Structure 1
Amino acid sequence: MSERNSSFRIYGGTVMKMTNSHNAGAIRFVRMLVIGGLVVAGEVAIAATEGIYQSAKVPDTQQVALVVGKSTVVDMPVAIKRASLADPQIADAIVLSPKQIYVTGKGYGTTNLTLWGKDDQVLAVFDLDVGIDLARLTQQLGELLPDETNLRLKGTHDHVAISGTVSSEARLSQVLAVAEAYAPKRVLNFLKVYPEPIGNPAPDVQTVTVEVIKGTAVNAVKF
């Protein structure tokens, strides 16, 4: 029998003779092992990538409403390593303790506050909306102008809109003056003036001439 198409392999220290059919089977077996290894490696790589993505996912943004000149304390469940404000002209942030940060409204508008923890992972992102203290302005108007009960105030980020009715032009000027003190050049006026009710009108004054006997006219008499 010819051995030109035969080959030899060593298994466990024993030399074994292999024919062409054996060679083809061995090659297919090796290929299956290689392909299987690549599939497993690919799955491991995908799982590792997904794990990295999940660990680096940015938390959902939280809304915080502030007013100019007032502050609030933000509590965190874990220690804060550092904090960053997108616009320091809108708000200010001071770390009070490893788990507390003090936020103050400085200017009208919106900005973002981002907090990082250990390993530089993002802990939280806050959307800060700094507006006008409408509660205090409403209280002030009620104290100064108690008769004007049809005033409506609405905040729009960096402006305050005033609508409703007032009893006179003088009261309109007073309302706007108080509002401007709280929000200079940021007051939107939608007020309407309704004059105070007028009492019964006086009768028309008529001038007549009364003639007496002998046709002599007397001074005009008003009725």
Structure 2
Amino acid sequence: MTSRNFIRRARLGTACTALAIGLGMAAAPAPALAQSGAARPSETLNLSQGTGTLVRLASPMTDLFVANDAVADVQVRSSTQLYVFGKGRGETTVYATGRNGRVVYGANVRVGNNISSVDEMLRMAMPEASIQATPMNNLVLLTGTVGSPTDVEEAQRLVQAYVGDGTQVVSRLRSAVPLQVNLKVKIAEVSRSLIKEVGLNLLSGDSSSGFRFGVAQGQKIDPDDGSVLIPDFGSVLVGRGKLLGV
């Protein structure tokens, strides 16, 4: 009787254990399902070739992944610190996961030319401008504000000469002063002596409350009656008129 009860309890214990294992296996995928969505990088690291940056993690990591180690690589200093450095031009992704497989860090890493040197060159060449150079897959993006439209072209030309023809420079710079078309109007002033020389006189305020004008070459108008002595070689325009409302 005792042996039968022992066997029965053993069988019951085995069944309970199997049930617990089955429930555990059924419940195990739940966290995985909760994390089934693709994790996206939380930040972007812009690096120059041969330079790097120290990253501090909020949670300890157990695994580290680099999509393309020809572009960037990492060195682990501790479970919460890693050093990311640029090796070649291009773009890659770095992920760090914790003990439970949860992503604790993710970043897009863009590696280009020595952008710090480009920034320094622009500060020296154009100290009054505010320009940021960002490397992006064999191109350099320029953003910021410069003084005039000509400075926009000058900044792009300087950066293109610095990085070489193998890298495209894209300018999104804004000018503090908009492009304007300046129209210059020149007003010629004729001196009185020149007027006398060509024989131009204007007469106004006659007895009929009108005006009279005359143009002659090399001659003068008689102030009494407005007549003009016309030479054979001269050209004359004589007229009378009355101002409206006078």
TM normalised by structure 1 equals: 0.49
